[in-house]
Amino acid sequence: MDTAELVIVGCGPSGATAAREAARSGLHAVVLEKDAVVGAKRVCAAGLRPRFCEEFDVPRAIVHFDTPRLALFDADGGEHVLTFGPGHTTTREELDGTLARLASSEGAEIRTQSLFRAVHRNERGFTVEFANLRNGKREAIATRAVFFAQGSTAVLEGTPLGYGEWRDGIMTTLQYRVYLERPALPITYQTLEMHYYVGNERRQVVGWMFPKKDHLAIGLGVIGKMQGAKLRSELDALTERIAKRLYPASRVHHVKTEGHLLYMGAPRPVMSHDGIAVGGTAAGLVDPTNGEGIYEAAMSGRLFAASLAEHRNDVARAARRYASAVRSRFVGRLRQRLKLMHYLERKPERFGVLFEQLATTPRLPEVLHGESHRRTLADRAFLYSQIARFLLKAS
């Protein structure tokens, strides 16, 4: 049987970063990826937070546009503009493909067309079973540690990492890649748009428009299931509104439709057990207010690789250290964001109140966007005063 020190399931930003950084510290890491081409099937708006490329040492060549404007549209369609960052746009073909190449160049082994099936404990570690989609055979690797990073489809039921409420956090998304005959208005390419409104069946919708070199990614999501035709008509209506503002004079020559699930619930309560850990979206590390999960995915991969490199001879300890690092870094913030989202959804006019406050108080988005462990006492005091101001207006 093949052997490895670490088997990683999934080659998205989480798995690829874990593989790259584990391999860099001398660990033999094998990544099992079900797709034939890494990133080719990922459905994503692929917006990156400011300085993502520098933080994860990814070539700037993957960036399509720097986007210093964030336009938030409230429940009545009102636009509130914040300047930030700038953020960036890319595509997942480029991001995931680049991260996988970088991981390979550090010595990680990436096995595409390898569909994870099961993991079993044995006296020396774990046996990971997967289907080799090239030859249809079931194969196995013996390993000391396992990192699950297979995204929102990682139900993990029946394992110690299972979470009964996982399915309640699943959002159904649909996105168009809109290819235009002529470019849209120049402002389109400097802006990330997010839209929050009540749509069909009185369901809360989160929509977006992110510009790419050769297309605009226009999409939306609703929590739970929605019939395909209704979701499509919802997206058609959003696309029409965006078209009127951003490309009134340009004809569309091609639209590609893509859909996927995204987990937008609370982070998974148990993130490690024995020598197994879970990261990225599979761990529920997605910001429920805006769907951002790429940064969280890459950072959790980094944290796992660092814990394993530090406690190479005690993988259970490494996994525990990882879980505690992820908890202190992300879990509190993401839980608060989920509470905020529920609070806003109960009275959709609250979105407008919040966006207005964000747009007119430039320090607020800056402090909110920073990671909570880096906040100073003054930042915290400022935040509390802003929360009080918001609650006063929104209640």
Ligand X SMILES: Cc1cc2nc3c(=O)[nH]c(=O)nc-3n(C[C@H](O)[C@H](O)[C@H](O)COP(=O)(O)OP(=O)(O)OC[C@H]3O[C@@H](n4cnc5c(N)ncnc54)[C@H](O)[C@@H]3O)c2cc1C
**Which positions touch ligand X (CB under 6 A)?**
9-15, 32-35, 42-47, 115-116, 149-151, 153, 173, 175, 219, 260, 262, 280-282, 286, 291-295, 297
- Supply the minimum distance, in Å, between the C-beta of residue 38 and ligand X: 6
Cα 188 vs. chain centroid, distance in angstroms? Answer: 23
- Supply the minimum distance, in Å, between the C-beta of residue 220 and ligand X: 9
Q: Are 220 and 195 in contact (CB under 8 A)?
A: yes
Burial classification of residue 351, based on how many CB atoms lie within 10 Å of its CB (0-12 exposed, 13-18 middle, 19 or more buried): buried
Q: Which two tokens stand for residue 354?
A: 């919040």
- Supply the minimum distance, in Å, between the C-beta of residue 39 and ligand X: 7
Of 280 and 352, which CB lies nearer to ligand X in the complex structure?
280
Of 162 and 376, which CB lies nearer to ligand X in the complex structure?
162
- Supply the minimum distance, in Å, between the C-beta of residue 238 and ligand X: 13
Of 17 and 307, which CB lies nearer to ligand X in the complex structure?
17
- Supply the minimum distance, in Å, between the C-beta of residue 245 and ligand X: 20
Of 293 and 390, which CB lies nearer to ligand X in the complex structure?
293
- Supply the minimum distance, in Å, between the C-beta of residue 212 and ligand X: 11
Of 305 and 353, which CB lies nearer to ligand X in the complex structure?
305
- Supply the minimum distance, in Å, between the C-beta of residue 152 and ligand X: 6
**Residue 71 pairs with which residues in a beta bridge?**
81, 193
Of 197 and 295, which CB lies nearer to ligand X in the complex structure?
295
- Supply the minimum distance, in Å, between the C-beta of residue 388 and ligand X: 30
Of 300 and 307, which CB lies nearer to ligand X in the complex structure?
300
Of 222 and 353, which CB lies nearer to ligand X in the complex structure?
222
Of 10 and 265, which CB lies nearer to ligand X in the complex structure?
10
HEC string of the chain? CEEEEEEEECCCHHHHHHHHHHHHCCCCEEEECCCCCCCCCCCCCCEECCCHHHHCCCCHHHCCEEEEEEEEECCCCCEEEEEEEEEEECCHHHHHHHHHHHHHHCCCEEECCEEEEEEEEECCEEEEEEEECCCCEEEEEEEEEEEECCHHHCCCCCCCCCCCCHHHHEEEEEEEEEEECCCCCHHHHHEEEEEEEECHHHCEEEEEEEECCCCEEEEEEEEECCCHHHHHHHHHHHHHHHHHHHCCCCCEEEEEEEEEEEECCCCCCCCEECCEEECHHHHCCCCCCCCCCHHHHHHHHHHHHHHHHHCCCCHHHHHHHHHHHHHHHHHHHHHHHHHHHHHHHHCCHHHHHHHHHHHHCCHHHHHHHCCHHHCCHHHHHHHHHHHHHHHHHHC
- Supply the minimum distance, in Å, between the C-beta of residue 389 and ligand X: 28
